[in-house]
Amino acid sequence: MTDVAISIRGVSKAFGAGDNVHYALRNIDLDIRHREILMLMGPSGSGKTTLLSIMGGILTPTSGDIAVDGVSMSKLSQRQLAQVRLSSIGFIFQEYNLFPTLDCIGNLLVALDLRGIRGTKAKAIAMQRLEDVGMSDKAAEYPAKLSGGQKQRLAIARALAGDPRVLLADEPTAALDSENGLRIMALLQALAREHGRAVVIVTHDNRITRFADRVVRIEDGRLHTARTPEEAS
Ligand code: ADP
Ligand code: MG
């Protein structure tokens, strides 16, 4: 496995066409390494979610290329791309995307089932992930009954269920109080340090920038790299 988890080269993304074309990303170059927590900061509308979605293979760039663990996504079929997403990438969406008809443990079991993990093994992993985010007492609860912070933690547990090599998180602590925010950051830090995972976090949250190994700022779809968290704030 190479040290670089995701390599982004010359990526631009345009929305719309003709006179209405809008470039959400302009000529982005960025490497995300295993074992590091990279934070992506910038004003609303600057392109953070678009870049995260491209890293996760959810959006395709208008130009440029992305490689995950050395595999260029532009050379893959839709089916192969889906396979890479499933085996390599955990995505925590801003709007959670929980399954409303499944209880908390069910939300995790379905993610594990997609990866071929079933039965007692799946249940044990699912309970461990709920425990990791402080939600083991909510296993049989449905998402509608959860607070915003609990939904957020469930979404994080689900993204971690399949033990992805790369974790992409859009504002993962926005809905959390300080205690739960720190708990989640400690969890993500352990994932990077002890398990060598690459973690990319989009955030506005100044409380968590000290967990970053690297902070990258984005403005009007262009990257400005800062060397340390202090330089970025
Ligand atoms: P951020 O996450 O930093 O707030 P986004 O990546 O969501 O920013 O959006 C960047 C720019 O791209 C914004 O101007 C936004 O309006 C535009 N944009 C994002 N998604 C779409 C879309 N699906 N269609 C058209 N424009 C979009
Ligand atoms: Mg966004």
Predicted local distance difference test score (pLDDT) of residue 28: 97
**Secondary structure (DSSP) of 30-91:** EEEETT-EEEEE--TTSSHHHHHHHHTTSS--SEEEEEETTEEGGGS-HHHHHHHHHHHEEE
CATH topology of domain 4-232: Rossmann fold (3.40.50)
Q: 48 alpha carbon to ligand 2 midpoint, in Å?
A: 6
pLDDT in tens, 178-190: 998 998 899 899 9
The verdict on the CB of residue 47 being under 6 Å from ligand 1 is: yes
Cβ–ligand 1 distance for 45 under 6 Å, the answer: yes
For atom 5 of ligand 1, which residue has the closest CA?
Answer: 47
- Read off the pTM: 0.91
pLDDT digits (tens, 9 = 90+) for 34-70: 999 999 999 999 999 999 999 998 999 999 999 998 8
pLDDT over 80 at 123, yes or no = yes
Instruction: Say how far apart CA 47 and CA 53 lie, in whole Å.
Output: 10
Residue 68's closest CA among 92, 32, 40?
32
pLDDT of residue 232: 52
For the segment 72-92, the average pLDDT, to the nearest whole number, is: 90
- C-beta 50 within 6 A of ligand 1: yes
